Structure 1
Amino acid sequence: MVSRRGAADGADGGRFAALAVARATSCAGFFAVLPYLGLWLVEDRGFSGGRAGLVVGACILANRAGAVLLVSLIHRLGLKSSVVTGYLGAVVVFTLLGTGLRLPFLGWLALAALVGLCLAMSTTAMKAMVAAFPAEQRLRGFSYLNMAVNAGSAVGPVIGGQLLDWHAGLPLAAAALHLVALAVALALPGGWRPSPTPPPAGPAAGSGRARRLLPQRALVQFSLLACGTWLAYAQVMDVLPAYLGSAVNARDLGLVFTLNAVMVVALQVPVSWVSRRVLDRPRGGFGPLWAAAGAVLAVSVLLFAFGRSAGLGLVLAAMVLFTLSELVWSPLYDAQISERRGALSPLAAYALAGVASGAAESVGAWLGTLLVVHRPGTGSVSSAAPYWGAAALALATGAAMWWTGRAPSGGRPSTHQPPPAVAGAETEAEEEGEGNDHDVDVSARA
C-alpha cells in the first residue's frame, strides 16, 4: 500500500515535471525562431534590414514587457487558463507565420507582437502559479523553471539553425513545439476558473496599493542605466545570426547559442557564489562587480565584430566571454530591482523594469539588424558598427553603475528592508505569491 507521503511526493513530482516540460518546449520553440527571425525575413521574405529589425523588435518588446498589459486579463482568466491560452495563441500565430502568407509589413509586425504577448501571458501565469505553491515547494518549482528555460534555449537554436540550413519552415517547428507545450499544460495543477479575491481590508489598503504602484527614483535610475547593457545584449542574442549569416553557417551558429545555454546551466551557481563573495568584500560591492562584467561584455562584443573574417573559433571564444559576463550581471540585475524597489510591490517592480529592458533590447535588435544586413557597397567596418557601439555602451554602463553605486556603505547593497506595514498588505502579498523565500538565480532569458 502506498503511503500518503509517497503519494504526495508522486503528485508533486508530476506537477513539477509538467511545469518543466511545458516551459522547456515553449522556450525551445521561441529560441528556435528568435535568433534567426531577422535573417529568415531577409532571405526568405525579402525584407529590408530595417523592416526585419522592426519585426524582431516588436516580438521581443511584447514578450519582455507584455506582462504589464496582461496582469488584469490573467487575473480574470485564472492561471492555468492563461497558460493554456498563451500556448494556444502561440501555436496559431507561428502556424500563420509558417504558411507562406503574403502579408504586408504591418501584418508581420502585428503577428510578431501577438506571439510575444501570447508567450508573455503563459510565462507570467506560470511564474504566478509557482509563486502560489506552499512555501516549502516554491524554491523547487522556480528551480525547475530555471532549468527548463536554459534547457529549451540550448535546444532551440540547434533546431532553428538546422532548419534554416535546410531552408525548412522555421515558424512551423516553433508551432509544433508549442503544441507539445499546450498538451502538457493541460496537466498543470489548478482549476480552470480564477480564485475569488477578497476585498481590500479598509481604506488604508487602497492607499497602500496606490503607493505600491509608484516607482521611486532609485529604481527608475537603475532601470534606465541598465538599458545600455540590454542594448549590447541584443547585438549578440538577436542580431548575431544576421551579422554572421554569410560567414558562419546556421547549424554552427546554433551550436554557438547552445554553448551559451549550457554554460549558464553549468556555471550559474558557482559564478553566483563568487559574485556574492565580491559583493561582501570591503573594496567590492555592486558598482565594481557590474563594471567588471561590463568590461568582459565589451571585450566579447568586440570579438564578435571580427567574427566575419576570423571564423567560428573566435566566435566561440567570444561567446564564452559573453556568457561569463551574463552570469554576473543577469542575476545582479534581478537582485538590484528588489533592492531598489522601495514601497513598490515586487510584481509591479519587475513588470516595470521589464518594460525598460524589453524596450532597450527591442531597439537594439531593430537598430542592429538595420545596420548589419548586407547592402551593395556596405563595408565590413560599417556593418560591424553595432558591435563597436555595444562595446562602448557596455563600458559606459559599467562606469555609470560604479559611480551611482558609490555610497557611504562602500557601494555594497544593503539587505532590502520592506516598507512600513500597511493594513491588508500582508494578505495582498500572500495572495500574489510575493514572499522572499523563493529567490533563485535566473538568467536574462527567463
Structure 2
Amino acid sequence: MARAPSGAGFFAVLPYLGLWLVDTRGLSGGGAGLVVGSSILANRAGAVLLIPLIHRLGLKASVVTGYVGAVAVFALLGTGPGLAVTGWLVLAALVGLFLAMATTAMKASVAALPADQQLRGFSYLNMAVNAGSAVGPVIGGQLLHWHASWLPLSAAVLHLVALAAAPALPGTWRRSERPRPAAGGSGRRPLVQRRFVVFSLLACGAWVAYAQAFDVLPAYLGDTVDARDLGLVFTLNAVMVVALQVPATWLSRRVLDAPRGGFGVLWAAAGSVLAASVLLFALGRSAGLSVVLVAMVLFTLSELVWGPLYDTQVSERRGTLSLPAAYALAGVASGAAESAGAWLGTLLVVGRSGTGPLSPAAAPYWGAAALALLTALAMAWDGRSPSADPLDTRKGEGNDHDVDVSARA
C-alpha cells in the first residue's frame, strides 16, 4: 500500500529533523524549531489551500501529484547545505504541503466508505502508516551515524516507492464533480458548523502532546539516549500499532456501542493514558531508556484509540462540508497545535541543562500532559452534550464532493 513507504519516508526524517539541522547544518535551536514547525504546519493544515485543486484533479490524481512533489522537495532538502533559515523554512513547508495534499485525498477516499466501515478503514490506514514508520526511524537513526547528509534523500527514495504504488489505489482518475448546494437548504446554512469547530479545537491538546513525543523527543533526549536506540523506541510504537490496531478497533467499537460508553468515554480514557505517557517521557533524561520504552508503550495504547477515532469524528461532524474540505480544515487546527508544540518544545529543550523531571527542559512535557488531560475531560463533557446539529446522513454514499468551501479558503 502506498501509505506504508510514504510513512517510512516521513518518519525517517521528521523525528530527527530538528537535531539534524542543529548538528549538521548549524542552525540554532530556535531556527531548527521554526523549520520543523513550518513543515508540520504545512503538512497538517496546508491542504486547506489545495481544496479546489484536489476537487479538480480528483482524489487519486491528487495522491500521485502530492507524492511527485514530495520526491522533488526531499531531493532538494538533501542537496541544500548552504541555505539560510528562510530557505530551509520554504523547503520544509513545501514538502509538508505536498504530503498534505496526498494525505487529505487518501483520507477522503477512506471516509467515502459506508459509515459502518469507516472506523475499520481508518484503522487499516493507521496500520499502513505505522508499518512504514517501523523502519523509518531506524533508517533515520542509522543515517545520522553513517552519513547524515543522506537523511532527506532517503525520504525521496521511499516516496518514489509510494509513487509507484499509488496508481493501484482504488478509485478513478476522473475530475471531481462540481460542488452543489446543501440538500433542502436555502444556501444560507453555514458550511462550517459549530460541532465540527468545537471538536477540532478541543483535539488540539492531544496534538500538542503528540508533538512532544514524536517531534521534540529526539532533541530532548539527544544527550541521554543514543539515536539508534531512540529509533528502536519509535519502531516499538509502529510495531505495536500494526500488531494491536485490529483488536483495539474491535474494543473501541464495543465501547462506542455500549449503553454507558460512547465517544466521550472512549476519548477520555485514551486522553488520560496519553497524559500519563507524556509525563513519563519527561523522566527520560534522568531515568534513561527503560522509562522511555514504558512511556512509548502507554503512548501507543492511547494512539491506537484516539488516532482512528479522531479521523472518524471529522467525517461524522463535517456537516455540509465535502470530505476533502473537512479534513483540510481540521488539519488547520491540528497542524497549528502540533506545529506550535514542536516549535516551543524544541526551543525550550535545545541547549537546556538539567536532567531532573522538574528541570526547565522538561517544561514542555508537563504542559503537554496537562493539555492532554484537559482535552480528555472536555471531550468527555462534549460526548455527553446533545448537539443541535444532525449527523451527516450522506456518509457512506461515496459523495465526497457535494459541497465545497470557497476557493479563497
- Report if TM-score (shorter chain) is over 0.5: yes
CA distance in 1, matches of 2:124, 2:88: 34
Q: Match of 1:367, as an amino acid?
A: L
SS, match of residue 357 in structure 1:
helix
What residue is the counterpart of 2:92 in the other structure?
112
Shift of 1:280: 3.8
Q: Does 1:182 align with 2:163?
A: yes
Contact 2:48–2:329 (8 Å) recurs in 1: yes
What residue is the counterpart of 2:45 in the other structure?
65
Contact 1:87–1:118 (8 Å) recurs in 2: yes
CA distance in 1, matches of 2:265, 2:120: 32
What residue is the counterpart of 1:298 in the other structure?
275
Q: Summarize deviations over 1:233-271 as a string: whole Å, max 9, x none.
A: 110011111111111111111111111111111112222
Q: Match of 1:394, as an amino acid?
A: A
Shift of 1:196: 7.0
What residue is the counterpart of 1:274 in the other structure?
251
Alignment coverage as a number of residue pairs:
399
Shift of 1:429: 6.1
Q: Does 1:97 align with 2:77?
A: yes
What residue is the counterpart of 1:232 in the other structure?
209
Shift of 1:76: 3.0
* TM-score in terms of structure 1 length: 0.79
Q: Summarize deviations over 1:262-298 as a string: whole Å, max 9, x none.
A: 1111112222322333334444333333222222112
Moved more, 87-96 or 364-373: 87-96
Of 341, 346, 357, 1:364 maps to 341
CA distance in 1, matches of 2:297, 2:376: 19
Distance 1:337 1:46, change over 3 A: same
What residue is the counterpart of 1:308 in the other structure?
285
SS, match of residue 76 in structure 2:
helix
Q: Does 1:327 align with 2:304?
A: yes
Distance 1:49 1:274, change over 3 A: same
Contact 1:339–1:416 (8 Å) recurs in 2: no
SS, match of residue 82 in structure 2:
coil
CA distance in 2, matches of 1:350, 1:309: 39
Of 331, 335, 341, 2:318 maps to 341
Q: Does 1:35 align with 2:32?
A: no
Contact 1:231–1:360 (8 Å) recurs in 2: yes
Distance 1:127 1:382, change over 3 A: closer
CA distance in 2, matches of 1:221, 1:384: 29
Shift of 1:333: 2.2
1:433-444 matched pairs, under 5 angstroms: none
CA distance in 2, matches of 1:433, 1:196: 7
CA distance in 2, matches of 1:135, 1:286: 15
CA distance in 2, matches of 1:204, 1:27: 36
Q: Match of 1:336, as an amino acid?
A: Q
CA distance in 2, matches of 1:216, 1:145: 27
Q: Does 1:171 align with 2:145?
A: no
What residue is the counterpart of 1:422 in the other structure?
none
What residue is the counterpart of 1:162 in the other structure?
142
What residue is the counterpart of 1:387 in the other structure?
365
Shift of 1:382: 0.4
What residue is the counterpart of 1:84 in the other structure?
64
CA distance in 2, matches of 1:53, 1:256: 22
Q: Summarize deviations over 1:308-360 as a string: whole Å, max 9, x none.
A: 12111111111001111111222232333344334444443333222111111
Moved more, 177-186 or 311-320: 177-186
* TM-score in terms of structure 2 length: 0.86
What residue is the counterpart of 1:418 in the other structure?
392
What residue is the counterpart of 1:432 in the other structure?
400
Moved more, 399-408 or 287-296: 399-408
CA distance in 1, matches of 2:116, 2:203: 33
Q: Summarize deviations over 1:154-197 as a string: whole Å, max 9, x none.
A: 111111111112243211111121222233445667776x4374
Percent identity between the two aligned chains: 74
Q: Match of 2:400, as an amino acid?
A: E
Q: Match of 2:71, as an amino acid?
A: V
Q: Summarize deviations over 1:107-157 as a string: whole Å, max 9, x none.
A: 111110100111122233345566779999999987764442221111111
Distance 1:398 1:138, change over 3 A: closer
Q: Does 1:286 align with 2:286?
A: no
SS, match of residue 99 in structure 1:
coil
Contact 1:307–1:315 (8 Å) recurs in 2: yes
CA distance in 2, matches of 1:80, 1:341: 21
Contact 2:322–2:400 (8 Å) recurs in 1: no
Distance 1:398 1:183, change over 3 A: closer
Q: Match of 1:432, as an amino acid?
A: D
When the two chains are superposed, the root-mean-square deviation of aligned CA atoms in Å is 3.3
SS, match of residue 359 in structure 1:
helix
CA distance in 1, matches of 2:379, 2:13: 33
